[in-house]
Structure 1
Amino acid sequence: MFTKTLTVLLLCLTSLSFHAVAKPIASDELNVMPLMNGQTLPSAQVKTLAGETVDLLTLTDGKPSIIFFYRGGWCPFCNSQMGQLKEIEPKLIEMGFQLIGISPDSPEKLKASMIDQDLSYTLLSDTDLNAMQAFGLAYYTSEKTTKRYLAKLKLDNLLKVTPEGDKRLVLPVPAIYISDAKGLIHFQYVNPNFRVRPAAKLIETAASLVPM
C-alpha cells in the first residue's frame, strides 16, 4: 500500500514539473519571481502579428531560443535594446538560435515596431499577460506611474485590478532568457531597473555557451 501511494505521489510531482503555474502579478518591480536557470520554458498563450493565438512552447519546440521581454514600443530603452539585438541577430542565427520579443503591445502596435525598426525577428503580443505571468515578470505599476503613462503615452493596455481594488497598469520587468532545443533555460537576465539592459556582447557570449 505504501509503495503504491509513493508511486502515485511521484507521478503527480513529475506531472507538476512539466506544467508551470502562472505566477501572480507582483506588487511592484522589486517583488517579481522570475524563472531561473535550470528551469524549462513554460506554456503560454500569446498572439502573432496576425492576431492568431499560439502557444510559446509550440514556437520554441526543438529550437534554441533567445526570448526577451520588453515594456512596449513606446519605451525608448526597449527600442534601443531591440536595435542592438537586430545588429547581432545574424550571429545568433548562425549559432542556431531564433530571436523572440514579447511585450503587452497589441499586434497592431507590434507591426508598427517591425516597420519603424525594420525588424526581421519574431514579435509576440502578450496583452493578456499570459507569458509575463508564466515567466514571473508581471508587476503592478504604482498609481503615480499608471496615471503618468496613460496620460503622456496614451497607452491602450488593459488595466488590472490589484488585490486592494485599484486599477493599475501591468508591465513586465525587462528580461532575457536563453534556452536550448529542449526548452531548458541556460541564461537569464532580469533587472527591475528598466533603464539597464544587458550588453549585446553579453547575450552573444552567453548564447555561444549553450550546448547545441
Structure 2
Amino acid sequence: MRFFTIISMIVMALVNIHSANAAQITNIASSPEQVSPLLPGLNAPKLTLMNQSNKAVNLERLYANKATVVVVYRGGWCPYCSRQLAGIKKIESQIAQYGAQIIAVAPDSPAELAKSKIDSPNYQLLSDNKLAFTQALGLAYFLDDKTAKAYRDRMGVNFVDLDGQSKVALPVPAVFVIDKKGLVQFQYANPNYKVRLDESVLLAAVKAASAL
C-alpha cells in the first residue's frame, strides 16, 4: 500500500508540474486569420503578469496611472518583433510627452525577457507565458504542425494540451492603446506577422487617447 501511495504522489507531482507549464485553452483560434481581437470601446483584460525581474504587475492599477500602449509580440526570438520594439523605443519619449506608458507582452518567460536590452521605467516587458492575456485579447492561435515543429526548440512555454497532444500557440502581433479607465481606444492586429504598425499612426492614436 505504501508503494502505491508513493507512486500516486509522484504522478500527482508530475501532473502539477505539467499543469504549471501548460496554458489553459479558453480562446485559441486554429489560424492567425481566424483570431478575433478585442475591439475599441471594450474593457482591456485586467490580469496580473510578471515582469522581467519576475515581479507581479497588476494591469488594472497600471492602466489607472496613465494611458497605456500595449504591444503584443511573438517573442524575443522573432526578428520582426525585435525591430518593432526597437522602433517603439525610438518614440518612447514622444509617447511619454503625451502622458502615456508602454508595456510589451510576449509568451516569453521572465528569464527570457531579462535578456532584452530595453530597460526603462516607462517601457516595461511583461510575460504572458501561459497565454492568458493573449487569449483574453482574442489574439491567440495554434501553429500548424509543420511550423510548430520548426519553432518548437526556439520558444518558451508556448505549449498547450489539446486532446492529449502538445500544441504550440502564439499571439497575432498587435498594438492597443488603452485609456485610464481601462477601455481600448485603438487597436491594430495583423495576421501577417511581417507587417507592423507605423510609429506615426501609433503616436496619433496615443495623442487622441491621452486627451480623453
Same fold per superposition (TM over 0.5): yes
Give the structure 1 partner of residue 69 of structure 2: 66
User: What is the TM-score with the length of structure 2 in the denominator?
Assistant: 0.82
Determine if contact 1:72/1:105 at 8 Å carries over to the other structure: yes
Q: Structure 2 vs 1, CA of residues 158 and 192 (structure 1 numbering), >3 Å: closer, same or farther?
A: closer
User: What is the TM-score with the length of structure 1 in the denominator?
Assistant: 0.82
Indicate yes or no: 2:161 matched with 1:161: yes
Give the structure 1 partner of residue 142 of structure 2: 140
Give the structure 2 partner of residue 104 of structure 1: 107
Q: After the TM superposition, which segments of 4 or more aligned residues of structure 1 sit over 3 Å from their partners? A: none
Determine if contact 1:177/1:185 at 8 Å carries over to the other structure: yes
Give the structure 1 partner of residue 171 of structure 2: 172
The CA distance in 2 between the partners of 1:23 and 1:208, in whole Å, is: 34
Tell me which amino acid in the other structure corresponds to 1:37.
P
Tell me which amino acid in the other structure corresponds to 1:127.
N
Q: Secondary structure at the match of 2:186?
A: strand
The CA distance in 2 between the partners of 1:38 and 1:181, in whole Å, is: 13
Give the structure 1 partner of residue 22 of structure 2: none
Q: Residue 55 of structure 1: CA displacement?
A: 2.7
Determine if contact 1:44/1:134 at 8 Å carries over to the other structure: no
The CA distance in 2 between the partners of 1:139 and 1:97, in whole Å, is: 29
Q: Residue 173 of structure 1: CA displacement?
A: 0.5
From 9, 27, 32, give the equivalent of 1:29.
32
The CA distance in 2 between the partners of 1:40 and 1:62, in whole Å, is: 16
Q: Residue 207 of structure 1: CA displacement?
A: 1.3
Q: Residue 133 of structure 1: CA displacement?
A: 1.0
Q: Structure 2 vs 1, CA of residues 55 and 130 (structure 1 numbering), >3 Å: closer, same or farther?
A: farther
The number of residues matched between the two structures is 185
Tell me which amino acid in the other structure corresponds to 1:157.
V
Determine if contact 1:70/1:78 at 8 Å carries over to the other structure: yes
Q: In percent, how many aligned pairs have the same letter?
A: 37
Give the structure 2 partner of residue 185 of structure 1: 184
Determine if contact 1:63/1:182 at 8 Å carries over to the other structure: no
Tell me which amino acid in the other structure corresponds to 1:171.
L
Determine if contact 2:158/2:170 at 8 Å carries over to the other structure: no
The CA distance in 2 between the partners of 1:86 and 1:24, in whole Å, is: 30
The CA distance in 1 between the partners of 2:89 and 2:39, in whole Å, is: 25
